[in-house]
Amino acid sequence: MSQDYCVKKHHRHWVRNIALVTTLMGSLALSACNPELIEDGKASQPLPIKLKHEIQKIGSTEGAPLYIRIFKEEAVLEAWKQTKDGTYALLKSYPICAYSGKIGPKKKEGDRQAPEGFYTITPGQMNPHSSYYLSFNIGYPNKFDRSYGRTGKHLMVHGSCSSRGCYAMEDDQIAEIYALGRESFEGGQRSFAVHAFPFRMTPENMARVRNSDNFAFWQNLKNGYDHFQITHVPPKVEVCNRTYVFDPQGANHFNASAPCPDYTLEPTLLASLQKLRSQENVRFSQAVQKQDAADQKAETKANNQMLEAQLEVLQRKERIAEGKNPDGFLAGLLKGNPAPAAAPAQPVATQSTQTSTAQAETPQTVTAQTQPNAGAPASNSFFSKLGSAISKPFKPLTGDSSQSTSKETATLTTLPQAR
């Protein structure tokens, strides 16, 4: 080996060491300005021993693929792990500490809504230096969201129990969830799915929200929900015709805003979905009937309470006019207003005419048209005539089908037709 070669080799080592020291010093200086860039060990925390035992108990491994489901209304995040037979088993349910907004999708930046839909998490979306302890980006807006022009960014699942459009967890919970995702990536999973639903999509819950503007959107989400309920495998999600499509076969190219290509569903899966939907449509119809009856009962009760309150006001005014409550509040309002001379007695109209008149006039209209005569006998007062001529001046609303307004009955949509 020549002397020149040794000198050159020594020179290269010296230059490399200088560069390494310079880089290290620069990193330390940058970290001093940005404390959260210093590795604090949060992202590398091992899975708790108890959670490792639970993974073994369900027949899975630490590096097995992960799947996450979120239920907004119930405030629950579920972590599922793939088992030895390829299906997924529920590992653990975590309470969501806080989320923004209410049930319904996020539509624009600043609306403080937490997203609903089907999202994919890659290693690049994991944030070990999050200001909220640890976090991963949900990936909003996805292809479906963008097809509707929806906007927003930095929508996370994170710690610190504080939300402005995100799903927030307690720090120890996000540490476990983050570790589960990290282990699945190290085990070879290239991405894991996060499916966010407004609620558990049972026929009863769907019946409860059937009048919502979001009902059609939730019907679309339910199809994906049902695929997993049957197969216990996260469905393959595509978007076409601005609609989510699940587990399509026979087509490779899907455009979110274009018509769907021809595709099919696996026959066994399709048969299972049709059977499930047939059963759930019965439950949906029963739930609708039950809720309609409950709503009618509540409406009738509210109307009766309102009419009873109106009648009580009329009766109180009558007592004041007869001088039975001269010191009452309403009597004080009437003092100083001389009553007009008693009007000649009018013929009593038929009951049907009086009923329609009494129901059409509000208490304010009646008061404006007829001033009670404080000096007149009770038998000549308007309120006495009202009570004697009409046995039930305020008829309670009933559940008579002839008086009910026909409404279009909502149903669970049938399964999307394979094209």
Q: Is the dihedral of CA 397, 402, 405, 406 positive or negative?
A: positive
Q: Give the Cα separation of 170 and 175 in Å (integer).
A: 9
Q: Considering the candidates 6, 33, 154, 158, report the single residue annotated as catalytic.
A: 158
* CB of 175 closer than 8 Å to CB of 384: no
Q: Give the Cα separation of 136 and 151 in Å (integer).
A: 18
In order along its 419 residues, the chain shows pLDDT tens digits of 444 434 344 444 444 444 444 444 444 333 333 334 445 789 999 999 999 999 999 999 999 999 999 999 999 999 999 999 999 999 999 999 998 889 999 999 999 999 999 999 999 999 999 989 999 999 999 999 999 999 999 999 999 887 777 899 999 999 999 999 999 999 999 999 999 999 999 999 999 999 999 999 999 999 999 999 999 999 999 999 999 999 999 998 999 999 999 999 999 999 999 999 999 999 999 999 998 888 888 888 888 888 888 888 888 788 777 777 655 555 555 555 544 545 555 554 444 444 444 444 444 444 444 444 444 444 444 444 434 433 333 334 444 444 444 445 566 655 544 44
Amino acid making up residue 337: N
Strands in 131-217 per DSSP E: 135-137, 156-158, 167-168, 192-197
Three-class SS string for 56-82? Answer: HHCCCCCCCCEEEEEECCCCEEEEEEE
* CB of 355 closer than 8 Å to CB of 390: yes
The pLDDT, as a whole number, for residue 402 is 40
The pLDDT, as a whole number, for residue 20 is 42
Q: Give the Cα separation of 110 and 404 in Å (integer).
A: 41
Q: Take residue 243 and report the two structure tokens written for it.
A: 């609609």
Strands in 97-234 per DSSP E: 98-99, 117-121, 126-127, 135-137, 156-158, 167-168, 192-197
Amino acid making up residue 352: S
The pLDDT, as a whole number, for residue 326 is 53
- For residue 279, with 0-12 CB atoms within 10 Å meaning exposed, 13-18 middle and 19 or more buried, which class applies? exposed
Q: Which residues pair with 240 in a beta bridge?
A: 243
Q: Give the Cα separation of 91 and 391 in Å (integer).
A: 66
Q: Give the Cα separation of 56 and 400 in Å (integer).
A: 60
**How many Cβ atoms are within 10 Å of 191's Cβ, its own excluded?**
18
Q: Give the closest residue to 218 by CA, choosing from 117, 330, 126, 120.
A: 117
Q: Take residue 286 and report the two structure tokens written for it.
A: 């029963």
Asked about 10 being catalytic, the answer comes back as: no
Sequence spans of domains, the chain: 49-200
Q: Give the Cα separation of 91 and 402 in Å (integer).
A: 53
Q: Considering the candidates 166, 195, 227, 260, report the single residue annotated as catalytic.
A: 166
* CB of 132 closer than 8 Å to CB of 173: no
Q: Take residue 133 and report the two structure tokens written for it.
A: 């302890």
Q: Give the Cα separation of 399 and 292 in Å (integer).
A: 10
The pLDDT, as a whole number, for residue 300 is 86
The CATH code belonging to domain 49-200 is 2.40.440.10
Q: Take residue 221 and report the two structure tokens written for it.
A: 């989400």
Asked about 166 being catalytic, the answer comes back as: yes
Whole-model pTM: value is 0.68
Query: What is the DSSP annotation of 14-56?
Result: HHHHHHHHHHHHHHHHHHHH-GGGS--SSTTPPPPHHHHHHHH
